[in-house]
Structure 1
Amino acid sequence: MSTGVLPSVLGMNLIVLAASGRTGLALARQALDRGHTVTAVARDPRRISLDHENLRKVAGDVTDPASIAAVVFPDSVVVSGLGADVPGVLHDGARAVIAAGPRRIVWLGAYGTGPSADAAGPGAEVLWKFFGDRIPDKVAADNAVLAAGGTVFHAGVLSDEPSGPGRTVGLDAAPPFDLGVKISRGTVAAAMLDEAEQPRFAGAVALPLAA
């Protein structure tokens, strides 16, 4: 998988995983608004509540590598809004995407887990109440994407508020985890798409923050 800057940010072929979810829908909608061609992947594509001439809805399950390989090609960029309630799904998904060999992977993770645990500080311990035994799966998926040269966005508490101005920083500029500070899914989606278009954090964890 290439980690270099894409030759053009116009008309990219974006594969959006979990496109029927709230973050996935934000990713797909904003990608279309930016002029990209989007292949929106969901287990049930009928739940993808978007229609556009540059949108293709396909059925795919990250636990079925063949279904991912069928839609991911070397010139594509995978942007994932994938979440899971069942341990193992995220790591399976990461491995399936990596094996398919896209140009770039931009993956959604959780701030305070794995590589960002130290930066987040003790306040992130509350995540165990929300994620429990899913955290090792999140960490394994993140590590696989990072090792493949992808970017993992460690977002804090997500909200469904309208998108607002945002900025992206590395772990060296990460603030302590604060359960009371939220960031909209739309703002996170915009940051992930910025990274897909012009990579700044290849092989690293990035934090989307409200401006």
Structure 2
Amino acid sequence: MANIILIGASGFVGSAILKEALNRGHQVKAVVRNPEKITVKDDKLEVVAADVQDVTALTPILKGADAVISSYNPGWTNPNIYNDTLTGYKAILDAVKGADVNRLLVVGGAGSLFVKPDVRVMDTGVLPEAILPGVKGLADVYYTYLKPETTLDWAFFSPAGNIAPGERTGSFRLGKDDLIVNEKGESNISVEDYALAMVNELETPQHHQVRFTIGY
């Protein structure tokens, strides 16, 4: 059993990771903006309200954890999503270091994955304009903050191009920097299988200071 901090546990991906981690017997401290959004009841769950932008407040909450999993997203409708993503993750990194937690797993995005040499998903023009600031924000977290980071044992886990509710099949492929597609050129993963793979990585670390991805 691991002692996990899960940031953003009430969101789409975060809630799936929360369910998976609890079902596998881990102790979880869920760090969220709005605790009332967490409706799960479990003896292994503690829910804490915190603003991740506040390093001073966040650091003591993280102390004693075996790992931090961050599914932080300042909100897709937030007009400042790009800047808030960057400042939020800068605060999370500072707090993780300040709390002496060595392992950080980040719920990444698919936008920075490559579809062919030197061409990323977010360069192709297929993504809706409305979500590009958030996509670019998460990509820049990877490029600006994580790739140069040599002290923390981090991993940036990008989903497939389409992540949606579905089945927990346990049958998927993992990769590194390239978007995983099926024989039809589709890139899909269920949020349940993504959560399964994330907790697998928590329990049996395979990726250190790298990005990796998932798909069928």
Which interval holds the TM-score relative to the shorter structure? 0.7 to 0.9
Check conservation: 2:50, 2:58, Cα contact below 8 A.
yes
**Range 157-166 or range 67-76, more displaced:** 67-76
* Structure 1: distance between partners of 2:28 and 2:62: 11
Corresponding residue to 2:48 among 38, 58, 61: 58
Ranked by relative contact order (alpha carbons within 8 Å, sequence separation 6 or more), the top structure is 1
Check conservation: 2:180, 2:187, Cα contact below 8 A.
no
User: Deviation of residue 87 (structure 1)?
Assistant: 1.6
Give the corresponding residue for 1:163: 168
| Structure 2 counterparts to residues 144-159 of structure 1, below 5 A | 144-146=145-147, 147=149, 148-156=152-160, 157-159=162-164
Corresponding residue to 2:72 among 82, 96, 99: 82
Corresponding residue to 1:196 among 179, 187, 202: 202
Corresponding residue to 2:114 among 117, 121, 139: 117
Gaps of at least 5 residues in structure 1 are: 1-10
* Structure 2: distance between partners of 1:105 and 1:204: 11
CA offsets per residue over residues 42-92 of structure 1, 9 Å max, x none?
Answer: 101110121100100000122222232131125431112222332222222
Give the corresponding residue for 1:133: 133
* Structure 1: distance between partners of 2:185 and 2:31: 31
Amino acid at match of 2:165: D
Check conservation: 1:17, 1:81, Cα contact below 8 A.
yes
Q: Does 1:103 align with 2:98?
A: no
% identical aligned pairs: 22
The 1:119/1:202 distance shift into structure 2, 3 A limit, reads farther
CA offsets per residue over residues 132-184 of structure 1, 9 Å max, x none?
Answer: 2233321222232342441001112110112222232223x653598843211
Corresponding residue to 1:48 among 4, 19, 38: 38
Count of aligned pairs: 197
Check conservation: 2:53, 2:92, Cα contact below 8 A.
no
Gaps of at least 5 residues in structure 2 are: none
Computed over aligned residues only, the root mean square deviation of the Cα atoms, in angstroms, reads 2.5
User: Deviation of residue 119 (structure 1)?
Assistant: 4.8
Q: Specify the SS of the correspondent of 1:71.
A: helix
The 1:119/1:199 distance shift into structure 2, 3 A limit, reads farther
TM-score, reference length from structure 2: 0.80
